[in-house]
Amino acid sequence: MKVNTILFDLDGTLINTNELIIASFLHTLEHYFPGKYKREQVLPFIGPSLHTTFTGLKPGHEEDMIKMYREFNHKMHDELVTEYETVYETLEQLKQSGFKLGIVTTKLKNTVTMGLKVTGLERFFEAIVTLDDVENEKPHPEPVLKALKQLNSKPGEAIMVGDNYHDIESGKSAGTKTAGVAWSIKGKDYLAKYKPDYMLDKMSDLIAIAGVK
């Protein structure tokens, strides 16, 4: 079946929010666990929802931790967020070639809107599924299936692109092809362990994979 739909994770895939996320975690964790967490220790927290992460770290305090994280994150957002190389050009070419494009993320809608606006990517997407829109976050298939439904697409016609294991697992569970990105902050080898169908060294690699003429 020919690919006509491409779904993307947002953070770490389309836009580089890694430094913003790391700074937000360190700011919050320093308050609750002074001197305990360094940069390398928060890398595993990138990807899962804040609720999942903070509940595991300090049960009963997760809502206050999320509030502190988001206040810092929003304050520093536009200063620290950038897009990755070849992302804009690739999305533009895919859109012009008639592909249906969507975002599937564990971020809340207002934060997603901020990221797309500051990078100018908002105009490319017909479907955006955020944490606000689902009962089950990635790696559950629900977010991917919801985006496909909004786009009137079938799993066999789609590729799910992401920088983390839960993107790959969500796509696989939903029945799509999957693509990992080599610029994942956790490393290409880490992502390869989850056996995505494709590995992108740069976003423009999608052009050939999707069969754009």
Q: Going residue by residue through the chain (213 aa), what tens digit of pLDDT does each one get?
A: 799 999 999 999 999 998 999 999 999 999 999 999 999 999 999 888 899 999 999 999 999 999 999 999 999 999 999 989 999 999 999 999 999 999 999 989 999 999 999 999 999 999 999 999 999 999 999 999 999 999 999 999 999 999 999 999 999 999 999 999 999 988 899 999 999 999 999 999 999 999 886
Strand intervals (E) in the chain: 5-8, 15-16, 82-83, 100-104, 127-129, 158-162, 177-181, 198-200
Helix, strand, or coil (residue 97): coil
Residue 102 β-bridge partners: 7, 127
Cβ 199 vs Cβ 191: under 8 Å: yes
If one counts every other C-beta atom within 10 angstroms of the C-beta of residue 78, the result is 12
DSSP secondary structure letter of residue 162:
E
- What are the structural domains, with CATH classification, of the chain? 5-16+83-209 (3.40.50.1000), 18-80 (1.10.150)
Q: Give catalytic residue positions.
A: 9
pTM as predicted? 0.88
What are the backbone dihedrals phi and psi of residue 63, each rounded to the nearest 5 degrees, phi first?
-65, -40
